[in-house]
Structure 1
Amino acid sequence: MTSFDGLKETGMSYGEKVRPRVVGIGAALVALIGVITIARVAYGVVDNLAQDDWSSGARGVFLVLNGISLLFAAFFLVLADQVRRGRMWAWIGSLIMLPFAFLYGALMLVIEATSDRVPWSGGGIALAAVVAFIMLLAPRDARDFFNRPAVPQWQGDRYTV
């Protein structure tokens, strides 16, 4: 006879894990990186198309490079959703991508600061990347959340998660 007492006690359904608050915050910051990058690309494209002194070749290269940035931004949104759901591959992918996001944000920060503009997007990306990296890696709750099995395991007389 099987018992689901372990699941009833925690109020969890099959395959569901309790998400620590730090993981939710880290996932939100990963999503914020994607949203800031999408906004920066949109602003850059509109600003580029408004200028008349660019050649068509330079404009095409600019649009291709912004398209690549847009793909990475969309990937950050997917990573954020999957990190929030507790997927280990997304957690590992985020820990790999966040240092690159920091470097990208730092580069944007320098470019914006040296061109006499307010460095909102670069500073926001760099800060969000650092805080997200710390939130997803430093707290034990976050590491344990991704290292736990995804489905309940039978432990003799009951299921445990």
Structure 2
Amino acid sequence: MTAHTTVLQHARLTETRIERLNAPVLDATRSTWRDVELSGSRIGALDIYDAGIRSTRFTGSKFDWINLRSSSLEDVLFEDCTIEELDLSGATATRVAFVNCRVGSLALAHATLKDVDLRGLEIGAIGNLEGLAGATLDAQQVTTLAPVFASHLGIRVEG
């Protein structure tokens, strides 16, 4: 299914499956998603800020930008997704997991994470490292991010 600018502001999506959606913009600001699956899709900008997202799966999809600012996420899974920019600033995320995903840039300003599993997420860059509190990383991710952590803490590393 191809859509141009799709507007779902303030919509309630319950027990909904969206497959193979191709849209440059999906505006779902202040919406509620419960038991939703979005799969096999290509979305330029998924604007879903200030939303409530629960028991939702994003699978096999590509996004240029996902704006989840100030949203509440609970029991959400991203699997086999590529995301250029993911903005979780001000979001509250509980039991969120990433499996075989890649994100170019991750923004976490004022995010509150609890039981967020980032082990299956290849991360290009992170903004606001303090927002990582409550997340689980694997040893490889920690090693890769070590220079960023050191810089954030004001630690000079010399070889």
Q: Under a length normalisation based on structure 1, what TM-score does the superposition of the two structures give? A: 0.22
Query: Could you say which structure has the higher strand fraction?
Result: 2
Structure with bigger helix share is 1
TM-score (normalizing by structure 2)? 0.22
Higher relative contact order (CA 8 A, sep 6+): 1
